[in-house]
């Protein structure tokens, strides 16, 4: 048993679980500062029974169930039908801004696989004077040979560079349960009988994180709807605690500067990693190119022969070719050999990013929402072609 698991009851006692199971989707899930109403126990949206084609629909017969689910959450859970819903990002930002007016412990979930893309810009302005606990999720994606202490230090220093000094940094895997005992310890230490606001960008793993906490205390099923598609949680989901306070699962903040936000569910299966990353190493000469599906083109323009280590979903197809042939291959095979995208017209046109690595130290070339390429031991001139608006940058090596 992990250190700290015996203290879970201090956060989620049996009475809280029973209350949640009895009232989820009803008064237990109302949003902040609104009248009591019926909310979906999975995504938090207001339930309505009149318009089957609109958000929040549930048949009247469903209202008598212990957990009321909207039609969308029901289909996600029982049929794996990941329905795409587009909600204005401004709506979610408004919910985030309300946190500054509360007295809460803020738990920010970041995605270790996409740290920059899962960071919330200006987070200190949104949370006010509330303390911030930083939880770096998806630890299970990293190779087992990773130095965990070094990785934790990397996260803390990266947060510091972004202007944030969290009360603590915890590494975890919500899907596998790794590090959850330390998370509960930290929540117990810093909550001080306050509400807990769990925040993060879309697909950072907030809802999976909350379900894991509840499962450790004996919840028989996932109470918050999860899916691989960004934007599953549509409103605040309130989970009551024994002391009258609550944990809130908040809607994911949309970051349109990462590739994952632009892809439909069938393409996300190739891009979002679900298992431990297997680094793929390519020894490249100058004037060689890597295609990451048809999403990104990576050109090694100039430099001595050297390795480029790709950390991306194991299911993503990588095609290697000579740079002089790259344009012709792209035109001929985009959407066929070079997939995803299944629909090339759905993405913005490519924009070129020129990168110069000085050599002597490992650096990561990051394509937000897709992964990164580790290089830099030798000087190199690179060009990265990615959809316009997608963040491409260089950082200190994470591994």
First-residue to last-residue Cα distance in the chain = 28
pLDDT, position 17: 39
pTM score of the predicted model: 0.78
Which of the pair, 310 or 35, is modelled with greater confidence? 310
pLDDT of 80 strictly over 50: yes
- pLDDT above 70 covers a percentage of the chain that reads 81
Measured CA to CA, the distance from residue 312 to residue 204 in angstroms comes to 16
pLDDT, position 235: 60
Question: Contact 105/197 with Cβ under 8 angstroms?
Answer: yes
Residue (of 207, 204, 228, 202) closest to 80 by Cα position = 228
* pLDDT 10s digits, 162-196: 999 999 999 999 999 999 999 999 998 999 999 99
* pLDDT 10s digits, 318-360: 999 999 999 999 999 999 999 999 999 999 999 999 999 999 9
pLDDT, position 2: 34
* pLDDT 10s digits, 23-56: 343 333 333 333 347 877 777 778 888 888 887 8
Question: Contact 323/303 with Cβ under 8 angstroms?
Answer: no
Question: Contact 253/202 with Cβ under 8 angstroms?
Answer: yes
Secondary structure (DSSP) of 67-107: S---HHHHHHHHH---------HHHHHHHHHGGGGS-EEEE
Tokens matching residue 30: 């109302």
pLDDT of 135 strictly over 90: yes
State the virtual CA torsion across 256, 261, 262, 264 in degrees, nearest 10.
-160
Residue (of 354, 394, 392, 390) closest to 376 by Cα position = 394
Measured CA to CA, the distance from residue 325 to residue 289 in angstroms comes to 9
Question: Mean pLDDT of all residues in the chain?
Answer: 83
Lowest-pLDDT choice from 89-103, 109-123, 342-356: 89-103
Average pLDDT rounded to a whole number, residues 79-88:
57
């Amino acid at each position: 048993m992990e250190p700290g698991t015996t203290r879970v009851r201090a956060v989620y006692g049996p009475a809280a679980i029973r209350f949640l199971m009895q009232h989820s989707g009803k008064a237990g899930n109302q949003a902040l500062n609104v009248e009591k109403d019926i909310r979906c126990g999975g995504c938090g949206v207001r339930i309505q029974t009149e318009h089957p084609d609109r958000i929040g629909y549930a048949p009247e017969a469903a209202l008598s169930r212990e957990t009321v689910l909207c039609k969308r959450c029901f289909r996600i859970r029982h049929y794996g039908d990941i329905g795409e819903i587009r909600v204005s990002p401004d709506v979610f930002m408004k919910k985030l801004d309300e946190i500054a007016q509360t007295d809460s412990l803020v738990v920010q979930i970041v995605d270790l696989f996409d740290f920059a893309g899962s960071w919330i810009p200006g987070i200190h302005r949104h949370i006010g004077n509330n303390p911030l606990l930083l939880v770096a999720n998806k630890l299970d994606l990293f190779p087992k040979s990773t130095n965990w202490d070094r990785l934790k230090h990397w996260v803390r220093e990266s947060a510091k560079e972004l202007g944030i000094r969290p009360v603590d940094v915890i590494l975890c895997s919500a899907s596998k349960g790794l590090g959850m005992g330390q998370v509960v310890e930290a929540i117990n230490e810093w909550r001080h009988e306050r509400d807990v606001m769990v925040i993060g960008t879309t697909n950072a793993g907030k809802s999976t994180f909350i379900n894991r906490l509840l499962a450790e205390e004996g919840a028989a099923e996932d109470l918050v709807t999860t899916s691989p598609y960004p934007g599953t949680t549509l409103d605040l989901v309130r989970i009551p605690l024994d002391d009258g306070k609550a944990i809130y699962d908040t809607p994911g903040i949309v970051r349109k500067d990462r590739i994952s936000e632009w892809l439909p569910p069938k393409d996300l299966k190739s891009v979002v990693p679900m298992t431990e990353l297997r680094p793929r190493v390519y020894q490249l000469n100058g004037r060689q190119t890597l295609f990451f599906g048809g999403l990104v083109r990576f050109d090694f323009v100039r430099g001595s022969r050297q390795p480029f280590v790709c950390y991306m979903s194991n299911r993503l197809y990588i095609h290697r070719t000579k740079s002089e042939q790259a344009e012709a291959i792209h035109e001929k095979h985009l959407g066929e050999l070079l997939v995803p995208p299944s629909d090339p017209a759905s993405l913005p046109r490519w924009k070129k990013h020129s990168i110069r690595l000085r050599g002597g130290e490992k650096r990561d070339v990051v394509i937000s929402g897709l992964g990164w390429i580790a290089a830099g031991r030798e000087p190199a001139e690179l060009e990265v072609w990615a959809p316009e608006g997608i963040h491409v940058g260089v950082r200190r090596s994470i591994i």
